[in-house]
Protein backbone atom coordinates (compact mmCIF):
# COMPACT_ATOMS: atom_id res chain seq x y z
CA UNK A 1 0.00 0.00 0.00
CA UNK A 2 1.23 3.48 -0.78
CA UNK A 3 1.17 6.77 1.11
CA UNK A 4 -0.96 8.44 -1.59
CA UNK A 5 -3.81 9.09 0.82
CA UNK A 6 -1.60 10.99 3.27
CA UNK A 7 -1.90 14.78 3.04
CA UNK A 8 0.53 17.18 4.70
CA UNK A 9 -1.22 20.44 5.61
CA UNK A 10 0.84 23.51 6.51
CA UNK A 11 -1.09 26.32 8.18
CA UNK A 12 -0.05 29.92 7.68
CA UNK A 13 3.63 29.26 7.03
CA UNK A 14 5.80 32.39 7.23
CA UNK A 15 9.01 31.30 5.49
CA UNK A 16 8.75 30.00 1.91
CA UNK A 17 12.06 28.18 2.43
CA UNK A 18 10.33 25.94 4.95
CA UNK A 19 7.65 25.05 2.40
CA UNK A 20 10.37 23.98 -0.02
CA UNK A 21 12.18 21.95 2.65
CA UNK A 22 8.86 20.27 3.53
CA UNK A 23 8.34 19.30 -0.13
CA UNK A 24 11.79 17.70 -0.24
CA UNK A 25 11.26 15.87 3.09
CA UNK A 26 7.90 14.56 1.82
CA UNK A 27 9.27 13.32 -1.48
CA UNK A 28 12.22 11.63 0.25
CA UNK A 29 9.65 9.59 2.17
CA UNK A 30 7.23 8.95 -0.74
CA UNK A 31 4.53 11.38 0.44
CA UNK A 32 3.26 13.77 -2.25
CA UNK A 33 -0.02 15.49 -1.30
CA UNK A 34 0.77 18.95 0.05
CA UNK A 35 -1.89 21.50 1.11
CA UNK A 36 -1.03 25.06 2.10
CA UNK A 37 -3.44 27.12 4.17
CA UNK A 38 -2.86 30.85 3.66
CA UNK A 39 0.92 30.71 3.22
CA UNK A 40 2.53 34.14 3.72
CA UNK A 41 4.63 33.88 0.53
CA UNK A 42 3.91 31.24 -2.09
CA UNK A 43 4.97 30.55 -4.77
CA UNK A 44 8.44 31.89 -4.02
CA UNK A 45 11.99 31.34 -5.30
CA UNK A 46 13.19 30.36 -1.85
CA UNK A 47 10.61 27.55 -1.72
CA UNK A 48 11.69 26.27 -5.14
CA UNK A 49 15.35 26.42 -4.18
CA UNK A 50 14.93 24.55 -0.90
CA UNK A 51 12.72 21.94 -2.55
CA UNK A 52 15.81 20.76 -4.46
CA UNK A 53 14.43 18.26 -7.00
CA UNK A 54 11.05 17.94 -5.28
CA UNK A 55 9.51 20.79 -7.26
CA UNK A 56 6.84 18.35 -8.51
CA UNK A 57 5.46 18.24 -4.96
CA UNK A 58 5.50 22.05 -4.80
CA UNK A 59 3.93 22.40 -8.24
CA UNK A 60 1.02 20.15 -7.35
CA UNK A 61 0.50 21.73 -3.90
CA UNK A 62 -2.99 23.13 -3.35
CA UNK A 63 -3.52 26.44 -1.63
CA UNK A 64 -6.58 27.00 0.61
CA UNK A 65 -7.87 29.95 2.56
CA UNK A 66 -8.97 27.98 5.60
CA UNK A 67 -7.97 24.79 7.37
CA UNK A 68 -11.56 23.56 7.10
CA UNK A 69 -11.29 23.59 3.30
CA UNK A 70 -7.90 21.87 3.31
CA UNK A 71 -9.18 18.92 5.37
CA UNK A 72 -12.77 18.82 4.03
CA UNK A 73 -12.40 15.43 2.28
CA UNK A 74 -10.35 13.75 5.05
CA UNK A 75 -11.64 10.91 7.20
CA UNK A 76 -8.96 11.37 9.85
CA UNK A 77 -7.25 14.62 10.83
CA UNK A 78 -4.19 14.59 13.09
CA UNK A 79 -2.78 17.87 14.40
CA UNK A 80 0.75 18.46 15.66
CA UNK A 81 0.72 19.85 19.15
CA UNK A 82 3.09 20.90 21.89
CA UNK A 83 2.56 19.24 25.23
CA UNK A 84 0.64 20.96 27.98
CA UNK A 85 -2.20 22.49 26.00
CA UNK A 86 -5.02 23.68 28.21
CA UNK A 87 -7.65 21.30 26.85
CA UNK A 88 -6.24 17.77 26.72
CA UNK A 89 -6.86 15.76 23.58
CA UNK A 90 -6.11 12.18 22.55
CA UNK A 91 -2.33 12.40 22.06
CA UNK A 92 -0.09 10.06 20.05
CA UNK A 93 3.66 9.78 19.68
CA UNK A 94 4.98 9.85 16.08
CA UNK A 95 5.24 6.06 15.84
CA UNK A 96 1.67 5.39 16.93
CA UNK A 97 0.55 8.32 14.79
CA UNK A 98 2.10 6.66 11.74
CA UNK A 99 0.47 3.32 12.54
CA UNK A 100 -2.94 4.91 12.89
CA UNK A 101 -2.59 7.15 9.85
CA UNK A 102 -1.21 4.39 7.64
CA UNK A 103 -3.85 1.94 8.82
CA UNK A 104 -6.67 4.32 7.95
CA UNK A 105 -5.12 5.60 4.72
CA UNK A 106 -6.16 2.41 2.96
CA UNK A 107 -9.75 3.58 3.38
CA UNK A 108 -9.78 7.38 3.29
CA UNK A 109 -7.67 10.52 3.14
CA UNK A 110 -5.66 11.29 6.28
CA UNK A 111 -4.38 14.79 7.02
CA UNK A 112 -1.37 15.64 9.17
CA UNK A 113 -1.64 19.30 10.12
CA UNK A 114 1.35 21.50 11.02
CA UNK A 115 1.09 25.01 12.46
CA UNK A 116 3.01 28.25 12.21
CA UNK A 117 6.78 28.33 12.75
CA UNK A 118 6.51 30.51 15.86
CA UNK A 119 3.36 29.33 17.61
CA UNK A 120 2.00 26.19 15.99
CA UNK A 121 -1.73 25.63 15.65
CA UNK A 122 -4.34 27.68 17.51
CA UNK A 123 -6.67 25.95 19.95
CA UNK A 124 -9.47 26.40 17.41
CA UNK A 125 -7.43 24.65 14.74
CA UNK A 126 -6.45 21.84 17.12
CA UNK A 127 -10.12 21.29 17.86
CA UNK A 128 -10.70 20.48 14.19
CA UNK A 129 -8.37 17.49 14.61
CA UNK A 130 -9.55 14.02 15.68
CA UNK A 131 -6.19 13.25 17.24
CA UNK A 132 -3.07 15.14 18.22
CA UNK A 133 0.54 14.06 17.80
CA UNK A 134 3.56 15.27 19.73
CA UNK A 135 7.24 14.71 18.90
CA UNK A 136 8.83 13.91 22.28
CA UNK A 137 11.63 16.47 22.03
CA UNK A 138 13.99 17.87 24.67
CA UNK A 139 11.71 19.41 27.28
CA UNK A 140 13.99 22.41 27.57
CA UNK A 141 14.23 22.96 23.82
CA UNK A 142 11.24 21.35 22.24
CA UNK A 143 10.43 23.40 19.16
CA UNK A 144 11.55 21.64 15.99
CA UNK A 145 11.93 23.47 12.73
CA UNK A 146 8.72 22.98 10.72
CA UNK A 147 10.32 20.92 7.94
CA UNK A 148 12.13 18.78 10.54
CA UNK A 149 8.81 17.94 12.18
CA UNK A 150 7.37 16.97 8.79
CA UNK A 151 10.50 14.88 8.12
CA UNK A 152 10.11 12.96 11.38
CA UNK A 153 6.42 12.17 10.85
CA UNK A 154 6.90 11.26 7.18
CA UNK A 155 9.88 9.09 8.12
CA UNK A 156 7.69 7.22 10.62
CA UNK A 157 5.03 6.76 7.92
CA UNK A 158 7.67 5.40 5.56
CA UNK A 159 8.95 2.99 8.24
CA UNK A 160 5.39 1.82 8.87
CA UNK A 161 4.79 1.38 5.12
CA UNK A 162 8.02 -0.64 4.87
CA UNK A 163 7.20 -2.79 7.91
CA UNK A 164 8.19 -6.35 7.15
CA UNK A 165 10.15 -5.31 4.06
CA UNK A 166 13.15 -3.98 5.95
CA UNK A 167 15.63 -6.64 6.90
CA UNK A 168 16.78 -6.74 10.49
CA UNK A 169 19.82 -8.69 9.31
CA UNK A 170 22.73 -6.24 8.92
CA UNK A 171 24.41 -8.67 6.50
CA UNK A 172 21.35 -8.92 4.24
CA UNK A 173 23.07 -7.41 1.23
CA UNK A 174 26.39 -9.19 1.59
CA UNK A 175 27.91 -10.20 -1.73
CA UNK A 176 29.64 -13.39 -0.53
CA UNK A 177 28.28 -16.39 1.33
CA UNK A 178 29.55 -16.70 4.92
CA UNK A 179 32.38 -19.14 5.49
CA UNK A 180 31.12 -22.47 6.81
CA UNK A 181 32.03 -23.55 10.34
CA UNK A 182 34.25 -26.20 8.82
CA UNK A 183 36.13 -23.68 6.62
CA UNK A 184 36.66 -21.49 9.68
CA UNK A 185 37.87 -24.46 11.77
CA UNK A 186 40.36 -25.39 9.05
CA UNK A 187 41.58 -21.80 9.00
CA UNK A 188 42.16 -21.87 12.76
CA UNK A 189 44.18 -25.09 12.42
CA UNK A 190 46.20 -23.50 9.61
CA UNK A 191 46.72 -20.38 11.74
CA UNK A 192 47.93 -22.38 14.73
CA UNK A 193 50.33 -24.33 12.49
CA UNK A 194 51.71 -21.15 10.96
CA UNK A 195 52.09 -19.37 14.31
CA UNK A 196 53.98 -22.41 15.59
CA UNK A 197 56.30 -22.35 12.57
CA UNK A 198 56.78 -18.62 13.17
CA UNK A 199 57.87 -19.34 16.71
CA UNK A 200 55.12 -17.00 17.90
CA UNK A 201 53.15 -19.85 19.44
CA UNK A 202 55.04 -22.23 21.65
CA UNK A 203 53.69 -25.76 21.77
CA UNK A 204 54.28 -25.84 25.53
CA UNK A 205 52.62 -22.44 26.20
CA UNK A 206 49.02 -22.13 27.43
CA UNK A 207 46.32 -22.24 24.78
CA UNK A 208 44.95 -18.81 25.80
CA UNK A 209 46.29 -17.20 22.60
CA UNK A 210 44.55 -19.59 20.23
CA UNK A 211 41.33 -19.30 22.23
CA UNK A 212 41.38 -15.54 21.79
CA UNK A 213 42.19 -15.71 18.09
CA UNK A 214 39.43 -18.25 17.54
CA UNK A 215 36.97 -15.99 19.37
CA UNK A 216 38.01 -13.02 17.24
CA UNK A 217 37.50 -14.79 13.91
CA UNK A 218 34.33 -16.57 14.95
CA UNK A 219 32.81 -13.27 16.06
CA UNK A 220 33.86 -11.48 12.86
CA UNK A 221 32.08 -14.17 10.79
CA UNK A 222 34.31 -13.89 7.74
CA UNK A 223 32.80 -14.74 4.38
CA UNK A 224 34.19 -17.38 2.02
CA UNK A 225 36.39 -14.96 0.12
CA UNK A 226 37.79 -13.46 3.32
CA UNK A 227 38.74 -16.91 4.64
CA UNK A 228 40.44 -17.65 1.31
CA UNK A 229 42.40 -14.39 1.63
CA UNK A 230 43.36 -15.18 5.23
CA UNK A 231 44.51 -18.68 4.27
CA UNK A 232 46.47 -17.22 1.36
CA UNK A 233 48.31 -14.98 3.84
CA UNK A 234 49.15 -18.01 5.98
CA UNK A 235 50.40 -19.98 2.98
CA UNK A 236 52.60 -17.05 1.89
CA UNK A 237 53.90 -16.72 5.42
CA UNK A 238 54.71 -20.43 5.62
CA UNK A 239 56.47 -20.23 2.26
CA UNK A 240 58.71 -17.41 3.51
CA UNK A 241 59.47 -19.24 6.75
CA UNK A 242 60.36 -22.41 4.88
CA UNK A 243 62.52 -20.57 2.29
CA UNK A 244 64.32 -18.83 5.12
CA UNK A 245 64.79 -22.14 6.88
CA UNK A 246 66.19 -23.76 3.70
CA UNK A 247 68.58 -20.83 3.19
CA UNK A 248 69.76 -21.06 6.79
CA UNK A 249 70.18 -24.83 6.54
CA UNK A 250 72.23 -24.43 3.33
CA UNK A 251 74.49 -21.84 4.92
CA UNK A 252 75.20 -24.08 7.90
Whole-angstrom distance, CA of residue 113 vs CA of residue 128:
10
Query: Which one among 96, 122, 214, 228 touches a copy of itself, defined by CB under 8 A?
Result: 96
The secondary structure of 108-153 as a DSSP string is SEEEEEE-BTTTB--HHHHTT-SEEE-----TTS----HHHHHHHH
Q: Are 123 and 67 in contact (CB under 8 A)?
A: no
User: Least distance to a copy of itself from the beta carbon of 150, Å?
Assistant: 9
Site string for a copy of itself, 37-66 (x = CB under 8 A): ---------------xxx------------
Query: Which one among 42, 155, 214, 241 touches a copy of itself, defined by CB under 8 A?
Result: 155
The secondary structure of 50-99 as a DSSP string is HTTT-HHHHHT-EEESSHHHHTTTEEEEEEE--S--SS---EE-HHHHHH
- Which lies closer to a copy of itself via its Cβ, residue 51 or residue 191? 51
The answer to the question of residue 109 lying near a copy of itself (CB under 8 A) is: no
Query: Which one among 151, 160, 179, 192 touches a copy of itself, defined by CB under 8 A?
Result: 151
The answer to the question of residue 218 lying near a copy of itself (CB under 8 A) is: no
End-to-end CA distance of the chain: 79
The answer to the question of residue 191 lying near a copy of itself (CB under 8 A) is: no
DSSP conformation class of 175: S
User: Least distance to a copy of itself from the beta carbon of 152, Å?
Assistant: 5
Phi, psi values for residue 126, rounded to 5°: -65, -30
Whole-angstrom distance, CA of residue 229 vs CA of residue 169:
25
Whole-angstrom distance, CA of residue 120 vs CA of residue 225:
56
Q: Which helix (H) or strand (E) holds 9?
A: strand 6-11
The answer to the question of residue 225 lying near a copy of itself (CB under 8 A) is: no
Count of positions on this chain that bind a copy of itself (CB under 8 A): 45
Whole-angstrom distance, CA of residue 30 vs CA of residue 53:
13
The answer to the question of residue 230 lying near a copy of itself (CB under 8 A) is: no
Site for a copy of itself in 122-141 (CB under 8 A): 131, 135-138, 141
Query: Which one among 90, 193, 239, 243 touches a copy of itself, defined by CB under 8 A?
Result: 90
Residues that bind a copy of itself (CB under 8 A): 21, 24-25, 27-30, 52-54, 83, 88, 90-96, 131, 135-138, 141-145, 147-148, 151-152, 155, 158-159, 162, 166, 168, 170-175
Amino acid sequence: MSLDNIRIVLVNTSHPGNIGAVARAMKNMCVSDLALVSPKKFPHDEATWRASNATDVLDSAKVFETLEEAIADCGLVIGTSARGRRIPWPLLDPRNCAKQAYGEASKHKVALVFGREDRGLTNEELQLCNLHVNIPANEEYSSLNLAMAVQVLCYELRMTALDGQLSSNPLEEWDQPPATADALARYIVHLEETLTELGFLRADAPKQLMTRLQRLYTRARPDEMEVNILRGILTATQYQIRQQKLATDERN
